[in-house]
Amino acid sequence: MKVLLTGSAGFIGSHVAEALTAAGHEVTGLDVRAGGVEGGDVRDETAAGRLLPGVDAVVHQAAKVGLGVDVADLPDYASVNVYGTAVLLAAMARHGVGRLVLASSMVVYGEGAYECGEHGPVRPRPRAAEDLDRGIFEPRCPGCASPLTPAVIGEDAPADPRNAYATTKLAQEHLAANWARETGGVAVALRYHNVYGPRMPRDTPYSGVAAIFRSALEAGRAPRVFEDGGQRRDFVHVRDVARANLAALAAGREGALSAYNVASGQPHTVGEMAAELAAARGGPGPVVTGEYRLGDVRHIVASPDRARAELGFQARVGFAEGMREFAAAPLG
């Protein structure tokens, strides 16, 4: 296929470009940063219009990422992620490009899935600042306030975005579904879980937790683990994410959006990840701070079953192996 890859110079996009090229696809990159094959912004309709003629599929990685620092970030998130995706989809419709692979995120779920001993499956409310200040980090049952047991979350769970980034990723999915219905196109949304690996961006307020820990260790500082370190996540290696994008090019249904968790299927706590990185890097060991961010969720553990069954995708890089590599890998 001839593929237009947005965000081609980014952390994930650069790995996707390598995977697509190795599989024999003809890749044209679009990125605002140096390193993209073509310089340009997805919000500029002339940039996409120049590159889309003759393209078979678009793999849309370009986005403003991270949790966000405060409400002042809202316009940038909406502009890049929502408006930029709308411009791209409109241009695809004009040029008859009928296949989209969208980089979405597990953050669209909000809190993960939970079970209450009395009420069964429940979705907890956002955690209260008063509880977090007192070191009560686990969500409670909205019906009886009892402790909950984390469970795996599937793609059919209702969306519940809890920060600016999450809201814009869900908006991207809705826009892609609108485009697919109106054009008969095929849209596949890949809901990345916690991606890590070589070329991950260095420590910034918008970095993922793995990059923040890795940057601290590189500087000789202990990783600072928020809450009590017991937050459960699914850490998936960037090369596996790239393989999922490759698989998604052949998936999906005409006139619809199909969503898939892209995850390892082997959850670990944030504290375990910090300890694994510190050990592989040679210390210092992590420090648990008790700090928190209101936009964070406690546990989110994915079910990878649909991606395995429908995409033929299964993560290959194990947690210990991936963290050993990441501990010494160059950052972006």
Q: Which residues is 262 bridged to in the sheet?
A: 192
The string of pLDDT tens digits covering residues 105-161 is 999 999 889 999 999 999 898 899 999 999 999 999 999 999 899 999 999 999 999
pLDDT at 206 over 60: no
pLDDT tens-digit readout, 18-59: 999 999 999 999 998 865 566 789 999 898 889 999 999 999
For residue 31, report the phi and psi dihedrals to the nearest 5 degrees: -160, 145
Q: Is residue 204 predicted with pLDDT exceeding 60? A: yes
Q: CA 185, CA 92: separation in Å to the nearest integer? A: 10
Answer yes or no: is pLDDT of 207 > 80: no
The pTM score is 0.94
Q: Give pLDDT tens digits for 74-95.
A: 999 999 999 999 999 999 999 9
CATH class of 2-112+153-328: alpha beta
Nearest to 99 by CA among 209, 271, 251, 277: 251
- With a CB cutoff of 8 Å and minimum separation 6, the contacts of 88 are 6, 42, 48, 58, 60
From 124-128, 243-247, 307-311, the region with the lowest mean pLDDT: 124-128
**pLDDT (average), residues 209-219:** 93
Which residues are 39's β-sheet partners?
31
